[in-house]
Structure 1
Amino acid sequence: MRAVYTKIASILAPLVDIILCETLASRAEVRAAASAASTYGKPVWVAMTLQDDLSGRLRSGESLTDAVRDIDASPQLGALLLNCCAPQSVTSGLEHLRDICPPGVRMGGYANGFQTTTSEWLSGKEEAAFHTTSEKDFEDGVITPSAYARHTAEWVSKGAEIVGGC
């Protein structure tokens, strides 16, 4: 796995200001991607995807805290992000990150903007979507801008400096 990330980083590094490793679902992916990206002298932003619940766990079921501790000594680490999961998962995950984020490393998130969760399409099940957002906050299965803005405001209140959408 590290060899693949090294190849990707070697191609990108001469052309970019930062190396963003995103939608990492396991500790092994976090370690491999961050390690490979860190060898090129660029800031490395690591974005992890969480389970669509409030557990603050990676999609692999592993601890977000453990994943961060695996890479927190990297001098290239510039940001810890949460992405490709429900907005409420980002909120919960930021509460975990706030306690373990190394000094000088920025936090943030960019959640899915649709009602059906990643877990549902990975499993193929027709389950009720995980969300605490009101049904009126969705139009045709996509979260409204005002509802998403409420989530991002909450992330900022928890220390997020980088926000976006997925």
Structure 2
Amino acid sequence: MWPVCTFHQRPVWVAFTVDDSDGTRLRSGESLANAAREVAALGAERIMVNCSAPEAVTTAMGELATLSVPFGGYANGFISVAPLQPGSTVDKLASRTDLDPAAYAEHAIKWFGQGATAIGGCCEVGPAHIAALAKRLSERG
């Protein structure tokens, strides 16, 4: 079982990072769906996928859409986080050149279409990306 606690009756949101080549699996190899079901059963009020490639987050949203709790995601803009070692910093990672604000918004709109209710951005996703997403969502009504 995954430990989840509520400090002073505060809501608990749990975020998982998924394998960039397989958004159905955590980076450690376990099933995202199984992990998400367990934390939902323990009381998590929202389940997120973060710090993963936008394409992997899209796949992960399909997994989370089967749950009975709200879900969402926020992707990073790195080519890969594989070079990241414990204790190192993201300044060693290379940024994607194909993930401008419009491209990021296109990915995130898919998450919204899959039922995600909390969408944002992680490393290398900045205010311009979020503004483009907000504009796209506003246009959808």
Q: C-alpha deviations, 1:77-115, integer Å up to 9, x for none?
A: 22110001100110001101111x12xx2110000023x
Q: C-alpha deviations, 1:94-149, integer Å up to 9, x for none?
A: 101111x12xx2110000023x2112434xxxxxxxxxxxxxx826xxx2001000
Structure 1 unmatched ranges of 5 or more: 1-27, 123-136
| Normalised TM-score (structure 2) | 0.72
C-alpha distance in 2 between matches for 1:97 and 1:156:
12
* Higher CA-based Rg: 1
Question: Which position in structure 2 is the counterpart of 1:17?
Answer: none
SS at match of 1:118: coil
SS at match of 2:19: coil
- Is residue 76 of structure 2 the alignment partner of residue 152 of structure 1? no
Structure 2 unmatched ranges of 5 or more: 86-95, 123-141
- Is residue 65 of structure 2 the alignment partner of residue 98 of structure 1? yes
SS at match of 2:35: helix
SS at match of 2:72: strand
Question: Which position in structure 2 is the counterpart of 1:110?
Answer: 74
Q: Counterpart amino acid of 1:157? A: G
Matches within 5 A, 1:27-46: 31-32=2-3, 35-36=4-5, 38-46=6-14
Q: Counterpart amino acid of 1:138? A: T
Considering only aligned residues, what root-mean-square deviation do their CA atoms show, in Å? 2.1
C-alpha distance in 1 between matches for 2:20 and 2:119:
18
Report the CA distance between 1:39 and its aligned residue: 4.3
Q: Which structure's residues are more often helix, by fraction?
A: 1
Matches within 5 A, 1:102-141: 102=68, 105-114=69-78, 116-122=79-85, 138=97
Identity %: 39
SS at match of 1:56: strand
Q: Which runs of 4+ in 1 moved over 3 A?
A: none
Contact residue 56 and residue 96 of structure 1 kept, 8 A: yes
Of the structure 1 ranges 146-155 and 60-69, higher mean CA displacement relative to structure 2 is found in: 60-69
Equivalences, count? 113
Report the CA distance between 1:73 and its aligned residue: 1.9
